[in-house]
Amino acid sequence: MRVGRNEDELEGRNAGDASPEDGRSGPLMAAAGRAGEEPSRAALVQGVAAWLEWQQAAGVDCCLLARGAPTASGAGAAAVPARGVDLGAASSAEVLPIGGVAPAGPSALPTTMGAPIGRSADRAGPLPAPVAGARALAASCRTLDELAEALERFELCPLKATATRLCLCDGNPAARIMLVGEAPGLEEDRQGKPFVGASGKLLDRMLATIGLDRTSVYITNAVFWRPPGNRAPTELELATCAPFLERQIELLRPAILVSVGGTAARALLGTNEGVTRLRGRRLEYRPARGDAPIPARVIFHPAYLLRQPMQKKLAWRDLLELAAELRRLGLVVGGDTSNGKEVTKRSDEVVRAAQRTQQRHPT
C-alpha cells in the first residue's frame, strides 16, 4: 500500500514534468493568502482540490482514515474497478482509495493481469459517454489510416482541445514489436510523433543496444493528445483512448507488447502495480475479442531514467531479457545481443559506470 510519494508512478512522465517544487501545489499555498489575510472558503476548497490532485499524480493511491470518518466518492470512481487489499495489522484504519482504485497487496501479483482500463468500465455499469463513443468509432475502423482519420474527428476527449495536434504513432506498422508509452510531451505535441523529445532520444539509444530501431518497432501511446502541463492522464482520459489503443493492437497483431512506464502498463494490463514490481516478469495482454493472449513486458520510461540515472543498470537488464524474449518468439534481433560475451562485457561496463557514479555522488 502506498501512502506517500512513489517514483514507480512518476516514471512515465516526461523529463520536464512537474514536481512539488515547481508550483503544482501552488494553489494550496495560494489558498493560505498573504500574511495577515483570511483565506476565503472557495480558495481553500480550490487549494485542497489541487493538492489532492498532485498527491494522486505523485502516486499516493490511498489515505488512512480513522474508522467512522466520513468519506465521499467522486463521480468518475465507478469507471475503474477496485482491487482487493489485505490490510493485515492495519485493521483499525479505513482505506480510502484515491480515484476509486484500491491498491493491490503483495499477494495480488498474477502472471496475467486483469482487463485494461478501457474495458473495465463494462463491469462497473453503464459506460461514460466518451468511452462509449470511442468504442463505437474505433470498432468501425478497418485500417490504421481509418483509425487516424477517426481520431482526427473524434471530439469526446477533452485533451484534444488543449493539444496542438494528434500524436498517434511512429515506426513501422508491419513490425512485430509494439511499444506503448504514456502520453505526448511538448516536443511530441509539436511534431505529432511519440517519443521525439529527450525521452525519445534515450529510447532510441536503448533500442539500439539490442539491435532495434524505429524501422523494427511500432510506437504509440496510451493517450494521443498531450495533457496540459505534461500532467498524468486521468482515468477517464485513459479509458476514452483505450478503444483506439486496443484497435491498433487488433489491426497490427504484434507478437509482443512492451509497456514503456507504469501508465502504459495500467492501460494495457489493468494493473496498479508500479514498474519496479512488473519489470523482469513475463506478462500477457488479453485482447478484448477473446483472441490469443499476447506476450507483454514492462520497462522503465526513459523520462524516469533521465531523472534516476542509477536505475539504468536495471533498465539494461530489462533490455537483455527483452532481447532474449524476442529470440524465444523467433523475432530477429540485432547481432550484438546474440553474442553472449559482448552482452556480458557491455553489461559489466554499465554496472561499473553506475558504481563510479555512486562513489562520486553517494546517497
Q: Which tens digits make up the pLDDT trace of 284-304?
A: 999 977 789 999 999 999 999
Q: Which tens digits make up the pLDDT trace of 195-215?
A: 999 999 999 999 999 999 999
Contact yes or no for 23/1 (Cβ under 8 A): no
Ramachandran sector of residue 106 (left: φ over 0; alpha: ψ -120 to 50; beta: rest): alpha
State yes or no: pLDDT of 332 exceeds 80. no
Q: Is residue 239 part of a domain?
A: yes
Give the number of other CB atoms < 10 A from CB of residue 28. 18
Q: Report the C-alpha gap between 4 and 20 in whole angstroms.
A: 13
Residue 40's pLDDT is 74
Q: Which tens digits make up the pLDDT trace of 8-58?
A: 444 445 544 433 333 333 444 444 444 455 567 777 777 777 767 666 655
Q: Which tens digits make up the pLDDT trace of 130-156?
A: 999 999 999 999 999 999 999 999 999
Pick the residue with more confidence: 337 or 236?
236
Q: Is residue 130 part of a domain?
A: yes
Q: Report the C-alpha gap between 191 and 160 in whole angstroms.
A: 15
Phi, psi (rounded to 5 degrees) for 219: -125, 130
Q: Report the C-alpha gap between 356 and 58 in whole angstroms.
A: 30
Q: What's the domain count of the chain?
A: 1
Within 8 A by CB and 6+ apart from 245, the residues are 116, 118, 180, 220, 222, 267, 268
Residue 44's pLDDT is 74
* Per-residue CA distances from 267 to 119, 150, 236 (Å): 10, 20, 11
Q: Is residue 171 part of a domain?
A: yes
177-181: strand order across its sheet: 169-171, 218-221, 177-181, 256-260, 294-299, 283-285
Q: Is residue 336 part of a domain?
A: yes
Ramachandran sector of residue 229 (left: φ over 0; alpha: ψ -120 to 50; beta: rest): left
* Per-residue CA distances from 6 to 57, 107, 248 (Å): 10, 19, 31
121 CB-side CA count, 13 A? 24
Among 206, 172, 157, 199, smallest CA distance to 322 is for 206
Q: Report the C-alpha gap between 94 and 3 in whole angstroms.
A: 13
Among 106-110, 237-241, 271-275, 306-310, where is mean pLDDT lowest?
106-110
> What number is the average pLDDT over the span 158-186?
96
State yes or no: pLDDT of 69 exceeds 90. no
Q: Is residue 96 part of a domain?
A: no
Residue 291's pLDDT is 85
- The C-alpha angle with vertex 128 and arms to 117 and 233, in degrees rounded to 5, equals 50
Q: Is residue 98 part of a domain?
A: no
Helix (H) or strand (E) holding 186: helix 186-191
Q: Which tens digits make up the pLDDT trace of 218-229?
A: 999 999 999 999
Q: Which tens digits make up the pLDDT trace of 342-355?
A: 444 444 454 444 44
Q: What is the CATH number of the domain that holds 277?
A: 3.40.470.10
Phi, psi (rounded to 5 degrees) for 188: -65, -40
The three cell numbers of residue 260 are 514503456
Q: Report the C-alpha gap between 36 and 288 in whole angstroms.
A: 58
> What mean pLDDT, rounded, does the chain reach?
74
| Burial class for 356, CB neighbours closer than 10 Å (0-12, 13-18, 19+) | exposed
Q: What is the reported pTM?
A: 0.64
- Structural domain of 309: 117-360
Q: Is residue 163 part of a domain?
A: yes
Q: Is residue 102 part of a domain?
A: no
Within 8 A by CB and 6+ apart from 178, the residues are 217, 218, 219, 220, 248, 249, 252, 254, 256, 257, 258
Q: Which tens digits make up the pLDDT trace of 106-133?
A: 333 333 444 454 444 444 568 899 999 9
Pick the residue with more confidence: 105 or 194?
194
